[in-house]
Amino acid sequence: MSRRGRYIAFEGWEASGKSTQARLLAERLNAVLTREPGGTDLGLAIRDLLLGNGPEPTQRAEALLFAADRAQHLAEVVEPALAEGSDVITDRSYGSTLAYQGHGRGQSIDELMGLVEWASGGLLPDLVVLLTVPVDTADGRLGEQRDRMEREDGNFAVRVIDGFVALATADPDRWIVVDGSGSIEEVAERVANAVGVK
């Protein structure tokens, strides 16, 4: 029987370096690289609804759209790759729902976790790497062109960041916190050490 792959998610506030570090770790592990939202064709359409300049979803609709993306993503990309023995690295996962829609928007964490578990069929990442950078550092990295989430105010950013830290603190067996400050290479080494990769 072949080895089941390892499922690793990167989380963090906008411009924390998630996408870059997820790509670098995927290259290092020869893993499948994917993202939420937008890891499937359906997910790309949902991503445009969520982050584009179209009609703004209500808070509940926003959470449901993220859940729909996750359900499709896990069924179409993540679960098949893991079953074949491939490692999967995803840029965002369930932690973003709890941090953004829960801590950021003020929706019930318990209700959102129920939605996460239903949409995912109980499949959560084996490991979550939380990259942390100061809000002003992230803001400086974002530049002028920003999506819907990136345009949120500083108070929202602080709530989301605090939410991520609370999630990591509550589940230390699954979450590891990595300082996202410094050069790309420095952060990549911190990530590799934290994940246990040579």
* Residue-level pLDDT at 51: 83
Instruction: Give me the phi and psi of 108, to 5 degrees please.
Output: -65, 120
* Residue-level pLDDT at 153: 66
Average pLDDT, rounded, for the chain: 91
Residues sharing a CB contact under 8 Å with residue 155, sequence separation 6 or more, in sequence order: none
pLDDT digits (tens, 9 = 90+) for 101-145: 999 999 999 999 999 999 999 999 999 999 998 877 766 666 666
For the domain covering 7-195, report its CATH number.
Answer: 3.40.50.300
* Residue-level pLDDT at 107: 95
pLDDT under 70 in the chain at which residues?
Answer: 1-2, 138-154
* Residue-level pLDDT at 77: 98
What's the predicted TM-score (pTM) here?
0.91
3-state secondary structure of 176: strand
* Residue-level pLDDT at 146: 56
**Cα–Cα distances in angstroms (integers) from residue 25 to residues 29, 51, 76, 87, 120, in the given order:** 6, 26, 22, 10, 23
How far is Cα 87 from Cα 72, in angstroms, rounded to an integer? 18
How far is Cα 49 from Cα 53, in angstroms, rounded to an integer? 8
